[in-house]
Structure 1
Amino acid sequence: MDSRSKRRIGIAGAVAGAGAAGVGAAVGLRRLAVGRVRLRPDPDADEPFGELRGREVPVRADDGVPLHVEVDGPDDAGLTVVFCHGYTLNQDSWHYQRRDLRGSVRMVFWDQRSHGRSGRSAAANATIEQTGDDLRAVLEATVGPDRPVVLAGHSMGGMSIMALADRHPALFDAQVAGVALVNTACGDMAEMTLGLPLVLAKAVRPLAPRTLRGLGRRAELVEKARGLGADLAFVVTRKMAFADKHISPSVVGFLEEMIRATPIDVIAEFYPALMGHDKTGCLDVLGKVPALVAAGGRDRLTPAAHARRIAEALPDAELVEVEQAGHVLPLEYPGVVTGGLRRLIDRVRPDYAEERTA
């Protein structure tokens, strides 16, 4: 890679967005865990998680599903950054980037189908390919055809960007000016081990789809159990997601609430699409634009090897690897992601300034 700079940052923490963490019941565990943690300072205790809002723009996917989309910034801005969130989360997972980039760039946030405030999808359309088409619908509704965009995707959101590149490559010649791919992969998700020993992971892996399908068919019962098991969900999320024992309980709780708000049948419907995801063939399209590729060294869902593979294939990529972080860098170490986005925006803006004055 000719112009890539590698940054290896020793930072503890980050969330692994484990979709079904809320299933179970262990009332009291959260009180015990939080009680101990709250003896230490919590700098995020007063952070208004989930309260930052923008101007709503009505968008419908090509199959009629309404997508919840918000715009932050003037419509005549020279550049727009479009944020795509991950599996089981919603647009609020970009909280810190939304807060810290306000006023410096126009931003678009949207909830993936069946997530957050967006409408429910037919099970047959719970695919990565469909989310790529949904992203195109968002672009058409929120960004003028002559206006450049930077696409930022976390986890499944990064896969949606890959699907857009695969299905609509012309956009990367005409409009997409840069991409940020955070905690994501272009394939080989079936090899995910969740940090288990390989032998055990291979034994457990075939059971997951059947288990989730079974839970999805009993959605009402499972949702009641998830509510009762919120204490266990907090503990599991913190244990699986974070390397830093001093992680803010407010951040853990915010992530766990987003996961728990995603219906179990939605989790079950999207799981096969994630495991079957393979967009290696789109890397040539992504390689047409500058890129930021960010990874966590302790990410159990999309290990850093995935990011290295993507960055190696892109001729103009900055690889940022946070050695002791996990799966949700935008929340756990927002400065890495926001700083990377600022650098990417700075790399993109001069090119488009020259084109507009030519």
Structure 2
Amino acid sequence: MWIRRDDGAEIYVRVLRARKEPGADLESEVGAEDGADAGAGEPPALLILDGIGCAGWAFRRLAPKLAADRKVVLMHYRGHGRSPSPPRPWQLGMHTLADDAAAACDQLGLDRVVTLGFSMGFQVALEFYRRHRRRVAGLVSLAGPPGQPLNSFRGTNVFGFALPLVVAATSVAKQATTRLWRSVLPSRQAFDFGLRFEVNRDRIDSRDFELYLKGMAAINPELFAAMLEQAQCHCGDDILGRIGVPSLVVAGGRDEFVPVQRLREMAFAIPGCRWEVLDEATHALPAEYPDELALRLGEFLAELG
């Protein structure tokens, strides 16, 4: 399904749901008219807000499991996956992405949703809650901080200081940056390095990681850097203590992108939040532990109705 925003941006939205016939497979694509039948007694849909540079790869195995009980909605951010780069000047702030998600819910006829934010997606989820609070039935963070992700990336804030240089480089040397970006990311060297140092290679399906690298390579590096800059400028700490819906935060014990302590502080700032850690998971925990997360998320969602 596609939606068109007022600024001309086109957003791709994918919906998963269980077929009504017993034992049938999942539907992977539905139109707006198919999504508008969320009647009484049907549980709130699960709205997945992905990480930056991601378009569903981390949920390839997890999302279908969750869709057995409710609709699962996954939006491709501007310039990600099947969503083309938006018109300039780019609007890539967390509040804009949250409004894109709300527009998708409008078109699908979804009044209330549980928002699940993976990595940067939880920043978008917090803005969704801030701006569209009546729609939120619950909040979930999978390795997602409340803001300024580079301040704790790999235990240092040096990446935050370097970001303006990266943004400038991608803007000034567009062609050279794009050539380098699209040659290095999908390479075998990047694949081997990532499997060895960035994820739990004993848990992740290498096909998922390959999808991630290919998806990243397809993104305009200037747009990626600009969105990362917006994420770094954003902070949702102010709203944590005012969250009034059931919440769950799941961290990876081996996550070097968003350290456990950062997520623990966030979880304990949210009233009544449930806090869980997958000890051997890295930042890619949705792809590494789909069965375990399906169970834990299923229990959390079942309590919401």
Moved over 6 A (4+): none
Indicate the residue corresponding to 1:116 in structure 2: 81
Deviation of the 1:107 alpha carbon: 1.5
AA in 1 matched with 2:268? E
Q: Whole-Å Cα distance in 1 between the matches of residues 13 and 210 of structure 2? A: 24
Structure 2 residue 236 is the aligned partner of structure 1 residue 279: yes
Alignment of 1:26-45 (within 5 A): none
Alignment of 1:61-80 (within 5 A): 61-73=5-17, 75=35, 76-77=37-38, 78-79=42-43, 80=45
User: Where in structure 1 are there 5+ consecutive unaligned residues?
Assistant: 1-55, 350-358
TM-score when normalising by structure 2: 0.83
Which fold has the larger relative contact order, with Cα–Cα distance below 8 Å and residues 6 or more apart in sequence?
1
Indicate the residue corresponding to 2:102 in structure 1: 136
Structure 2 residue 246 is the aligned partner of structure 1 residue 290: yes
Match of 2:278 among 322, 329, 332: 322
Once the two structures are superposed, residues 48-81 of structure 1 have per-residue CA deviations (whole angstroms, 9 ceiling, x without a partner) of xxxxxxxx2x322342311101222364341211
Match of 1:187 among 134, 137, 147: 147
Once the two structures are superposed, residues 106-155 of structure 1 have per-residue CA deviations (whole angstroms, 9 ceiling, x without a partner) of 1211101121111323354111121111121112111343xx32111101
Structure 2 residue 117 is the aligned partner of structure 1 residue 162: no
Indicate the residue corresponding to 1:35 in structure 2: none
Indicate the residue corresponding to 1:59 in structure 2: 3
Deviation of the 1:161 alpha carbon: 0.8
Structure 1 residues 268, 213: closer, same or farther in 2, change over 3 A? Answer: farther
Structure 1 residues 248, 140: closer, same or farther in 2, change over 3 A? Answer: closer
Indicate the residue corresponding to 2:166 in structure 1: 211
Structure 2 residue 220 is the aligned partner of structure 1 residue 263: yes
Indicate the residue corresponding to 1:234 in structure 2: 191
Structure 1 residues 284, 256: closer, same or farther in 2, change over 3 A? Answer: same
Asked if 1 retains the 8 angstrom alpha-carbon contact of 2:115 and 2:136, the reply is yes
Asked if 2 retains the 8 angstrom alpha-carbon contact of 1:83 and 1:94, the reply is no
- Classify the secondary structure of the residue corresponding to 1:220: helix
Indicate the residue corresponding to 1:299 in structure 2: 255
Indicate the residue corresponding to 1:34 in structure 2: none
Q: Whole-Å Cα distance in 2 between the matches of residues 246 and 337 of structure 1? A: 13
- Classify the secondary structure of the residue corresponding to 2:245: coil
Structure 2 residue 39 is the aligned partner of structure 1 residue 84: no
Q: Whole-Å Cα distance in 1 between the matches of residues 203 and 106 of structure 2? A: 43
Indicate the residue corresponding to 1:102 in structure 2: 67
User: Where in structure 2 are there 5+ consecutive unaligned residues?
Assistant: 18-33
Q: Whole-Å Cα distance in 2 between the matches of residues 274 and 126 of structure 1? A: 9
Q: Whole-Å Cα distance in 2 between the matches of residues 313 and 342 of structure 1? A: 24
Indicate the residue corresponding to 1:355 in structure 2: none
Alignment of 1:328-343 (within 5 A): 328-343=284-299
Match of 1:222 among 173, 177, 184: 177
Give percent identity, aligned residues only.
Answer: 22
AA in 1 matched with 2:213? E
Structure 1 residues 300, 181: closer, same or farther in 2, change over 3 A? Answer: same
Q: Whole-Å Cα distance in 2 between the matches of residues 246 and 179 of structure 1? A: 26
- Classify the secondary structure of the residue corresponding to 1:340: helix
Once the two structures are superposed, residues 12-67 of structure 1 have per-residue CA deviations (whole angstroms, 9 ceiling, x without a partner) of xxxxxxxxxxxxxxxxxxxxxxxxxxxxxxxxxxxxxxxxxxxx2x3223423111
Deviation of the 1:163 alpha carbon: 0.9
Asked if 2 retains the 8 angstrom alpha-carbon contact of 1:178 and 1:344, the reply is no
Q: Whole-Å Cα distance in 2 between the matches of residues 328 and 142 of structure 1? A: 29
AA in 2 matched with 1:228? S
TM-score when normalising by structure 1: 0.72
Deviation of the 1:210 alpha carbon: 0.8
Indicate the residue corresponding to 1:45 in structure 2: none
Structure 1 residues 185, 110: closer, same or farther in 2, change over 3 A? Answer: same
Q: Whole-Å Cα distance in 2 between the matches of residues 114 and 309 of structure 1? A: 32
